[in-house]
Amino acid sequence: EQAELGAFTHYMEKEIFEQPMALENAMRGRFSDDESTSKFGGLNLDAREFRHVDRIVFLACGTAWHACLVAEYLIEKYARIPVEVEYASEFRYRNAPLDKNTLVFVISQSGETLDTLEALREAKRKGYRVLGITNGVGSTIARETDGGVYQHAGPEIGVASTKAFTSQVLIGGMLALHLGRMRDLSFSDGREMVKAFRSLPGLVSQVLGQAEQIKEIASRYTDYEDFLFLGRQSMFPIALEGALKLKEISYIHAEGYPAAEMKHGPIALISEKCPSVVLSPHGDTFSKVLSNIQETRARKGRVIAITSAGKDFPEEGADDVIHIPHAHDCVMPILATIPLQLLAYYIAVNRECDVDKPRNLAKSVTVE
Ligand code: G6P
């Protein structure tokens, strides 16, 4: 085991640091020669069939479900196709009406999650084309879908998913580009997106380069028992994912919320005992999220802000500030995920938790 871990203490830590390579592997050979769109060999759908898709339903569990939520934002934004995201376990027992131009996607790191598999079978039983995004080469889900995309992220051993998540989000973004270029997205906008995806491994390495600073911040947040994670638009699913990571490995109660919803409930929880991690990169809702931070601090809640480097986040605006590079919107969810993984990891290590094998959790849930 030690040989495999090399300089790392845990698999989760190793996998967090493997993300530049995992992202590189998810992109390899998947852009057009003119670098204006993405291409996927395994989807088994021709261009005409793709153009007829008028609705996409994503099904997954756990972290993969969060990746679906990011894909929803990106596909609606860049390809203008309505997307719905559903927990596989709920979809199975609903009689969801699908029409013939609906495409169903399942996302699963392992390719073996039973609820996801059964949801896939249910959709196929009803006659829908089901595609998959999975890291599990030759897995049951890979075999039973009508086509799909392999993540090629390499084995993920830590129970809490890290590199598999960011690679799923990347593939969701590349899918948005692919579908967008068949519709309204221009050649130059497509090129901008490809450029942004290509820059990701380097940008993620930059964020990983701040691990020491994040470790130091984590040391000041180890003893809390409640956390809020807030974000808007594509940062909302990242807030959910940040909360899930912390809860899975450190056993701290954490909730993710759309930042604007805090006034409808979570604000009642804020006190000096409940810090918030606020995703506040530069963008349309930046000033609104800043006022959420002020409201939080006015109630004595400590704030860790994740914001864009070189933009106008006010000095002293938060108790702790982590900067991520300012990049194209389509890659910001991935960049914002990295500090949340590191925060959860260092907090769990400080609390002496079994990071790679958290209590009660399994890497792949093959029971119902
Ligand atoms: C378990 C794992 C999670 C994972 C979820 C779905 O709960 O602990 O990390 O996100 O299953 O797994 P899948 O393999 O389908 O992505």
Q: ipTM of this model?
A: 0.96
Q: How far from the centroid of its chain's Cα atoms is residue 236's Cα?
A: 10
Please give the helix or strand (H or E) that residue 135 lies within, else none: none
Q: Is the CB of 168 under 6 A from ligand 1?
A: no
Are the C-beta atoms of residues 234 and 83 closer than 8 Å to each other?
Answer: no
Per-residue pLDDT tens for 203-242? Answer: 999 999 999 999 999 999 999 999 999 999 999 999 999 9
365 Cβ closer than 6 Å to some ligand 1 atom = yes
Q: With CA atoms as reference, report the closest residue to 321 among 293, 341, 296, 345.
A: 293
In angstroms, rounded to a whole number, what is the distance separating the alpha carbons of residues 339 and 317? 18
- Which of 9, 17, 8 is CA-nearest to residue 341? 17
Q: How confident is the model at residue 315 (pLDDT cuts 50, 70, 90)?
A: confident
- Crossing angle, helix 187-208 and helix 19-27, to 10 degrees? 160
The per-residue pLDDT for range 330-356, each reduced to its tens digit, is 999 999 999 999 999 999 999 999 999
- What's the 268 CA to ligand 1 centre distance in angstroms? 31
- Helices 163-181/62-79 angle, 10° precision: 20
How many angstroms separate the first and last alpha carbons of the chain? Answer: 31
Distance CA 320, CA 217 (A): 7
Active-site residue numbers? Answer: 363
Collect contacts of 93-96 with beta carbons under 8 A, ≥24 apart.
Answer: 96/57
Structure tokens at 241: 């994912």
Query: Residue 68 Cα, ligand 1 centroid: separation in angstroms?
Result: 13
273-295 in b/e form (b: 16+ CB < 10 A) is ebbbbbbbbebebbeebbebbee
Cβ of residue 151 lying under 6 Å from some atom of ligand 1: no
* Residue type at position 336: A
**How far is Cα 254 from Cα 244, in angstroms, rounded to an integer?**
7
Across 62-71, 158-167, 358-367, least confident range: 358-367
Cα dihedral 267, 280, 173, 11 sign: negative
**What is the structure's pLDDT at 37?**
97
Mean pLDDT (whole number) for 301-310: 94
Helices 332-350/187-208 angle, 10° precision: 20
Per-residue pLDDT tens over the stretch 13-58: 999 999 999 999 999 999 999 999 999 999 988 888 889 999 999 9
Work out the number of other CB atoms within 10 angstroms of the CB of residue 4: 10
Cβ–ligand 1 distance for 109 under 6 Å, the answer yes
Centroid of ligand 1 to alpha carbon of 362 (angstroms): 8
Looking at the predicted structure, is the pLDDT value of residue 3 above 80?
no
Residue recorded with tokens 């079994």 = 354
Written as one string, the DSSP assignment of 279-339 is E--SSTTHHHHHHHHHHHHHTT--EEEEEETTS-PPTTSSSEEEEE----GGGHHHHHHHH
- If one residue of 58, 105, 113 were mutated to test the ligand 1 pocket, choosing by the most ligand atoms within 8 A of its CB, it would be 113
